[in-house]
Amino acid sequence: MSKKLAIIASKGTLDWAYPPLILASTAAALDYEVEIFFTFYGLQVLRKDVNGLKVSPLGNPGMPMKMPFGPKWFQSINWNIPNAIQGVIPGFESLATVLMKQTIANNGVASIETLRDVCVESGVKIIACQMTVDLFGFEHSDFIDNIEFGGAASFFEFAGESDITLFI
């Protein structure tokens, strides 16, 4: 019998959209049975259009701010911009997101859409939390096909017999 992995995905930024999708797709490749329960901001990862996913350097001192283009010496500079300045520059998050996406492409890292497609194709079961769908005013038509809608009880039905359970 195959092992089981249950994940709760609760984050809705570009960077944090990766861990649940990387782990789920890899586990599926290792013949795990996988289920991801997307709740709260995690719902953003299931929207048909994921261009709204952004990365925010604000309040995130662990995030290196480096340029994904230019000569090597230029790319190695860490642009340490204080939060107080980041916070008042209009479009700072959009700029950081553009740079992040370029860095992702430069490093041969898969896009969110690609990883999500692999998950669906390899049989990862995706459940969207109906309560937060209502709370945030989403419609079922906002989300990709091949997902189910349910609540906490449906998560436990699978998680209760899982070998690994992660909250991300």
Partner 1 sequence: MNFDKELDARGLNCPLPILRTKKTLAELTAGQVLKIVSTDPGSVKDFQAFAKQTGNELLSSTEGGGEFTFFMKKK
Among 15, 19, 26, 168, binds partner 1 (CB under 8 A): 26
Nearer to partner 1, 2 or 83 (CB): 2
Nearer to partner 1, 101 or 128 (CB): 101
For the record, the structure tokens of 156 come out as 């436990």
Among 25, 39, 97, 162, binds partner 1 (CB under 8 A): 25
Nearer to partner 1, 45 or 128 (CB): 45
Find the shortest distance in angstroms from Cβ 45 to partner 1.
17
Please give the full DSSP string across the chain, using - where no structure is assigned.
---EEEEEE---SHHHHHHHHHHHHHHHHTT-EEEEEE-GGGGGGGBS--TT-----TT-TT-----SSS-HHHHT------HHHHTTSTTHHHHHHHHHHHHHHHTTPPPHHHHHHHHHHTT-EEEEEHHHHHHTT--GGGB-SS-EEE-HHHHHHHHTT-SEEEE-
Nearer to partner 1, 25 or 39 (CB): 25
Find the shortest distance in angstroms from Cβ 93 to partner 1.
24
Binding segment for partner 1 (CB under 8 A), chosen from 25-33, 39-47, 69-77, 154-162, is 25-33
Find the shortest distance in angstroms from Cβ 160 to partner 1.
23
| Distance in angstroms (rounded) separating the CA atoms of residues 59 and 39 | 23
The footprint of partner 1 on this chain (CB under 8 A) covers a number of residues equal to 12
Find the shortest distance in angstroms from Cβ 122 to partner 1.
8
**Site of interaction with partner 1 (CB under 8 A):** 22, 25-26, 29-31, 107-110, 118, 122
